[in-house]
Structure 1
Amino acid sequence: MSSPCDPQYAPAGDVGAALMLIDSRLKAMYDGKPVADPEQQQLTDQLTASLGPDQARDLVDGTCTLVYMFMRWLRLAHEDHGKDVVEYVVPTLVASLRQMPKSVQPEAIPTMAGLTIAAGTGLSPSLWRQQYGEWTEAEMNALEATALLLAEHIHRLTNDRDFAVRMISEALTSSNQD
């Protein structure tokens, strides 16, 4: 029996824009710039301010799609080693989010843990979250941080600072060719 949170029912959103934002944050982080780099924040603020409600929703859905795809890759990688992705990824993610009190409000962390667990068990993060009502402002930074931390986790596992972004870019390219 299929779940109402099955990814086949989820909107993909604007994965390209979400990936661009995550890639930009990763590059800044790897270049040693502060996560709250004023120039980077201004560009992000300009982008988000230019979005209408539908485009903002597409960006959120796109970020949820990234979370799903990152967790899918992590799940497969962990299963290859007889490990459970939820057991090995979610506690580290939660600990990292807790260390970001200026960016991530504490009340958003349980939602991000649930969202990541949903993705790790094959459910759509956006549909899982949707059943609890509208997104809150506090969850926006937390969602971006979650996608960023998952991508960075993949980069550490693969010892390749571009692997997660390249993986998604290649998936987008191949889906556009189909």
Structure 2
Amino acid sequence: MMIDSQLKAVHDGRSGTDPERQALFDHVTASLGPDGLDDVLDGACTLIYLYMTWLRKAHEDVDKDVIEYVVPTLVASMRRMPKSVRPEAIPIMAGLVIAAGTGLSPNLWRKQYGDWTEVEMTPLEVTALLLADHINRITEDRDFATRMVTEALSRMDADDYEDED
């Protein structure tokens, strides 16, 4: 939902931080505790994996390589955001996206490099945001990426419910 909110703000021409959205984000993160923050990081990596899986399949349908077409655009976009994405975080995010684009779990890929740092939190959010925006532009549907996630979660809930029977 945070990614969807941020996408809507960008497309509506609102820049900077919306105080109400920031207060909600601060409240949610303060209430999570240490395990909750790990869950948020895992969730962001899962979003990136889901987005890259969709992008890989879409690119394969037209005989294109997702890494060749998505990663350079992503890196160029992050380089234009020096206040949000420090240059040293860009190779980490590119590696994370390449791992996801080749079918590897971003969570497992990241574990080999140690814990996330505070400097990487915003670039991780930016990565998920840029991938969602890329999908929305490809589909020409501003809500496609959010709907894709919502539908995936609904399918998981339905599968869990069927397993209980």
- Settle same-fold status: TM greater than 0.5: yes
The residue aligned with 1:23 is 4
TM-score (norm 1): 0.86
Q: Deviations over 1:23-78 (max 9, x none)?
A: 11111112211143333223222222222010000000001000000000000000
C-alpha contact (below 8 Å) 1:28/1:35 kept by paired residues: no
Please name the residue that 1:109 is paired with.
90
Q: Of the two, which has the highest radius of gyration?
A: 2
1:51 match: secondary structure: helix
**Which deviates the most, 116-125 or 96-105?**
96-105
Normalising by structure 2, report the TM-score. Answer: 0.93
Aligned residue pairs total 159
- List gaps (5 residues or longer) in structure 1: 1-19
Q: Distance in 2 between matches of 1:171 and 1:41?
A: 27
Please, what is the CA RMSD of the aligned residues?
1.0
Which whole-Å CA distance do the structure 2 matches of 1:165 and 1:136 have between them? 27
Q: CA deviation at 1:106?
A: 1.3
Give the letter for the 1:104 counterpart: V
Among residues 46, 67, 70, which one is paired with 2:27 in the alignment? 46
Larger % of helix: which?
Answer: 2
Q: Secondary structure at the match of 2:145?
A: helix
> Unpaired segments of 5 or more residues in structure 2?
160-165
SS in 1 for 2:32: coil
Distance in structure 2 (CA, Å) of the matches to 1:163 and 1:35: 24
The 3 A distance-change label for structure 1 pair 36 and 101 is farther
Identity of aligned pairs, percent? 68
1:76 has 2:57 as partner:
yes
Paired with 2:158 and 2:111, the residues of 1 have a C-alpha distance of: 30
Task: Give, in whole Å, the separation in 1 of the partners of 2:75 and 2:18.
Answer: 23
